Amino acid sequence: MNTGVFFDLDGTLVNGTAGLRFARFLINKKLLQINFDVLIPTLKAFYDFLTSDVEGYIQGFDTLWALSVKGVKQSKIQYAALKYAPIEFNNIRKNMLSELNNHRRRGHKLFLISASPNELVSALGKLLSFDYSIGTRLAVRNNVYTSKLRTPYLTGKDRLVVMRRIAKKFKVSLKDSYAYGNSINDLKVLMAVGHPVAVNPDAELLTFARKNGWTII
């Protein structure tokens, strides 16, 4: 069996929120359909609440994201994500890049799981040579986004379902694997592996990590 390493994106692998920065990039490229003055404050509000009721707020974000790209060609957003990924690379935490490279040298399978848009997550995964990456996915018809979301979602129990599917596909032993997360909302994923790592954790995750003797960086 292989050893896997599961990375969260926002606040873990990168400083701050990659999804918000990508949204600004797309707005500047005139690829989003929602007005800047409406979209950015709403996205900011969503991310500000990531440490509380994430599953409630993620629905609002996902709906907003789906509406904002409705009618846009998927290929345009994918191309924009590939162009943006090297810019977002500058926001990667130096210590996390070291962790990533260390796991790669050890021959571990690398996975990126995030609620950020799948186009962005996939582009970053490709840039960083992850074995598999997945983010929030939208339904597409004839290369054009509809306003529908694809399941499973990338939060809570659904994220754990996705994680287990990845582990099965890549023949990964979860008890021998690692997971990196920064929020109490990452708890289900962190508890599923033998080597959980709390990265600059919020107060709740910090307390839980200390109580259970987890690695904290």
The tokens of 205 are what? 């995750």
Question: Phi, psi (5° rounding) for residue 26?
Answer: -65, -35
- Does 184 have pLDDT greater than 80? yes
* Span 90-119, pLDDT tens digits: 999 999 999 999 999 999 999 999 988 999
Question: Phi, psi (5° rounding) for residue 145?
Answer: -70, 135
DSSP code for 36: H
In DSSP terms, 198 is beta-bridged to 181, 216
What confidence category does residue 38 fall into, taking pLDDT thresholds of 50, 70 and 90?
A: low
- Does 61 have pLDDT greater than 70? no
CATH code assigned at 170: 3.40.50.1000
CB atoms within 10 A of CB 170: 14
Domain that holds residue 179: 4-216
Q: Which of 115, 109, 127 is nearest to 169 (CA)?
A: 109
The total domain count for the chain is 1
